[in-house]
Structure 1
Amino acid sequence: MEITFLGTGTSQGIPIIGSDHPVCHSDNPKDKRLRVSILVTWNNWNILIDCGPDFRQQMLANDVRKLDAIFYTHEHNDHTAGLDDIRPFFFRQGDIPVYAHERVLKALQKRFDYIFTTKDKYPGAPGVKENVIENKPFSFHGLTVTPVEFMHNRLQVFGFRMEDFAYLTDIKSIEDKEVEKLQDLKVLVVSALRIEPHHSHFNLEEALKFVERVKPQTTYFTHISHMLGFHDEVEKNLPENVHLAYDNLKITV
């Protein structure tokens, strides 16, 4: 299983438009972050987790030629706004399967009604095949996918475990029964927004405590804001088995 970090930034990305924060003016490519998303490649299947506003740029940067499914964590704009840009994949492959909580699918139907409609559909619009996710494992072409439920302030979000890999973004709190799904991981990806506490995201301290709780072999932090600091400075102060992810990083699990 190969994981490509397409984007590792928070909702505004880094740099933020018009910001004078030092991180936003960094020359280090690892400090430039598109909106958060990953591509999971397994047995030649390409699974996208979240399709944000930088989707087109991310596909071009990584020369992605086919897309077999989109798994959505939740409906916020930085995770969904790129859906229209699946058109090149649709024209080559047909309807693209999307997997999401029923609430998230309804939000997408409202925002992208011209994609989901079956009446008088514009011929240039892409199409999708809807799959409702509940909080129980499902199969994707023989791959067991286990949703992991947690809260983003008051909003329910799904993370996903696939074999020995798990991806959790936009997390603030999680119940013990959901943490039990994360035992014996080789790689955990989890969000760590900034140093200061935040009402709907783990800050760095909370993310590190969560790592101690789950005890994966290796952890990568994502959904990072400029307020976390410079990549290289933060990285050197992390525990040995914990790293900051960065855009276009590829790992094998």
Structure 2
Amino acid sequence: MRLIFLGTGTSFGVPQIGCGCAVCHSADPRDRRTRCGVVIQAPNGTTLLVDTPPELRLQLVAAGIASVDAVLFTHEHADHIHGIDDLRAFSIRRATPLPLYAEATTFATLEARFPYIFDDGFRPLPGTTRPEGAKHVITPGVPFEVQGTAVLPIAVPHGRASVVGFRVGDLAYITDAKTLPDTALEALAGVRVLILNALLRTPHPTHLSISEAVTMAQRVGAERTFLTHLTHENLHADLAAELPSGIAPAHDGLVVDLPEL
């Protein structure tokens, strides 16, 4: 199993527009954070893209990702879906629409904002293209398969939005969570690598803070936990130095390999 972090930043990204802080002007490339997304490459060769952030084209080019087998959406917020048009680079090379997996509420937003992707009656003008996606509605707690790879969607609270994380084998990706309820902790039992959002040092109404994320990570007990969805509040090196053993900040471009047992 391989995990590739495409983006690890909050909805503002880092550097943040107009900001003069030390992090936004840092020379450390790990402090440059695009909006959140990952690629999961399963042992059987299935490649899954999680979310379509606004910088998706640049992220995929930087990571050398030439194709994906499906896209999984965590939720409907702009920083997680507004790069969806870049999927046409994949769909134009396919004989069938690219499979898209999301909750019904997320699809409702996608269809409202990007109707040309889902309207079978829409035909682009000759010489032009559009992304073509095949809808697959998912339900939290109900596993589904993508080309033989089992995926478990896990519900987490995030203000008014309905959000799911995903478990694929011994790997779990959770972003935009305020906490991990008991049902999520049960679904995460035994994971070896956990990715968890950690927004600020202070409490936030819809996101885990760094200290809350550490507490939740320790409750899950994965061998390795990586924090994502980070703001410009922390230099990567400083945060890495203070986190407990087994917990580290992720950064754009980080590759995590999870050998099979």
TM-superposed deviation, 1:174: 3.1
Q: In structure 2, do the counterparts of structure 1 residues 120 and 156 end up closer, same or farther at CA, with 3 Å as the change threshold?
A: closer
In structure 1, the gaps of 5 or more residues are: none
Unpaired segments of 5 or more residues in structure 2? none
Q: 5 Å matches for 1:45-84?
A: 45-84=46-85
Deviates more, 1:3-12 or 1:112-121: 112-121
Tell me, in whole angstroms, the C-alpha distance in 2 between the residues paired with 1:117 and 1:177.
36
Between the aligned partners of 1:37 and 1:157, the Cα distance in structure 2 is: 14
Matched with 1:231 is 236
| CA apart distance, 1:138 | 1.1
Mapped partners of 1:112, 1:120: distance in 2:
12
Q: Secondary structure at the match of 2:172?
A: strand
Structure-2 residue corresponding to 1:146: 152
Match of 1:110 in 2: 112
Could you tell me the TM-score, scaled by structure 2's length? Answer: 0.94
Higher alpha-carbon deviation: 173-182 or 58-67: 173-182
Does residue 133 of structure 1 match 2:138?
A: yes
**1:173 to partner: Cα distance:** 2.5
Q: Say which SS state the counterpart of residue 114 (structure 1) adopts.
A: helix
**Counterpart-to-counterpart distance in 1, 2:97 and 2:244:** 43
Tell me how far apart the structure 2 counterparts of residues 112 and 249 of structure 1 sit (CA, whole Å).
Answer: 30
Alignment of 1:1-253 (within 5 A): 1-42=1-42, 43-93=44-94, 94-123=96-125, 124-135=129-140, 136-227=142-233, 229-253=234-258
- The whole-number CA distance in structure 2 between the counterparts of 1:221 and 1:60 is 23
User: Counterparts of 1:141 and 1:119 in 2: how far apart (Å)?
Assistant: 28
Q: Say which SS state the counterpart of residue 92 (structure 2) adopts.
A: helix
SS in 1 for 2:139: coil
Opposite residue 75 of structure 2, the aligned amino acid is H
Amino acid at match of 1:118: D
Assess if the C-alpha contact under 8 Å between 2:55 and 2:83 holds in 1: yes
- Cα deviation, 1:101-126, whole Å, max 9, x if unaligned, reads 01101110111011111114214212
Q: State the shift of 1:184 in Å.
A: 1.0
Give CA deviations for 1:36-71 in whole Å, capped at 9, x if unaligned: 000001122210000010100001101111111100
CA drift at 1:196? 1.3
User: TM-score scaled to structure 1, two decimals?
Assistant: 0.97
SS in 2 for 1:65: coil
Whole-angstrom CA distance in 1 between matches of 2:150 and 2:121 = 35
Runs of 4+ more than 2 Å apart? none
CA distance in 1, matches of 2:187, 2:76: 23
Q: CA deviation at 1:177?
A: 2.0
Shift of 1:29: 0.2
Give RMSD over aligned pairs. Answer: 1.0
| Identity among equivalent pairs (%) | 37
Contact 2:8 2:37 (C-alpha < 8 Å) held by counterparts: yes
CA distance in 2, matches of 1:71, 1:104: 11
